[in-house]
Amino acid sequence: MKFSNMEGTGMEKKTRVAIIGYGNVGKGVELAIEQNPDMELKVIFTRRKPDTLKIRSNTKVLCVTEVDKYVNDIDVAVLCGGSATDLLKQGPKLASIFNTVDSYDTHAKIPDYYASVNEAAKKAGKTSIISTGWDPGLFSLLRIIEEIALPQGKCYTFWGPGISQGHSGSRYIVPLHKLFPRCNLPPELPVDKAYS
């Protein structure tokens, strides 16, 4: 991946980042960028009215329809939309404009999503990294490390207790949102059995 703003002086320049989508994931990305001095948040794109967002930084907030204006100003766009509907459309489109990173997590559809994003990125000469969230992503790497350290061990996966981003997101789509749990709680029997 070649960053245009790193050429020239040999001195380290900041990676220019755009956040696309400003829900919980977008807010977390904003915090992460603040903690990394080699990164600079250039712009946040949203589908909402930009002036309604309350953000932490002094970054510009623009409507997502304006992404094309920033082709030469962004090194990488972090796509923070939901996997169920947003990223399926946004991923391939934005991969044809920017280098991208996302956390697409619908496991059964990852091969198809990869194919569509990969095709768009290759045609545009861009790099796109998909499914780099918690699961798949960091959680998957942790399982690999566990299996390397304990090759004869058994790896168990439990979710929760915690807030479910997917379940929380469904409340915006489905009118009967009160029926959806917002928390994941692991069943007690398998957890007790694993620890016994």
Block residue for tokens 């957890």:
191
Same domain? For 111 and 163 the reply is: no
Answer whether residue 114 shows pLDDT above 80. yes
Assess contact for 80 and 26: CB atoms under 8 A.
yes
Q: Based on the domain organization, do 122 and 163 belong to the same domain? A: no
The whole domain housing 182 covers 149-195
Distance of alpha carbon 99 from alpha carbon 10, whole angstroms:
22
Calpha distance 101→78 (Å, rounded) = 5
Q: So what's the pLDDT on residue 162?
A: 59
pTM of the model: 0.75
Q: Are residues 67 and 102 in the same domain?
A: yes
Instruction: Tell whether 18 and 115 lie within a shared domain.
Output: yes
My answer on whether 37 and 100 are in the same domain is yes
Task: Share the mean pLDDT of the chain.
Answer: 83
**Residue 100 within a domain:** yes
Same domain, 24 and 120: yes
Same domain assignment for residues 90 and 13: yes
Q: Answer yes or no: is 16 within a domain.
A: yes
Are residues 110 and 153 located together in one domain of the fold?
no
Cα 111 from Cα 154, distance rounded (Å): 27
In a domain, 134, yes or no: no
Number of compact structural domains in the chain: 2
Does residue 139 lie in a domain region? no
Helix and strand element counts for the chain (H, E): 6, 8
Q: 37-52: per-residue pLDDT in tens?
A: 999 999 999 999 999 9
Same domain, 104 and 160: no
Task: Output the six-digit token pair for 97.
Answer: 């404009």
Q: Is residue 136 part of a domain?
A: no
Structure tokens at 31: 């915090």
CATH number of the domain encompassing residue 97: 3.40.50.720
CA distance 156 to 153: 10
Q: Is residue 143 part of a domain?
A: no
Helices (H), the chain: 24-34, 86-95, 110-124, 138-149, 165-173, 188-195
In a domain, 184, yes or no: yes
Of 138-142, 143-147, 176-180, 192-196, which range is least confident?
A: 176-180
* 153-179 per-position pLDDT tens digit: 777 666 666 555 555 555 555 555 555
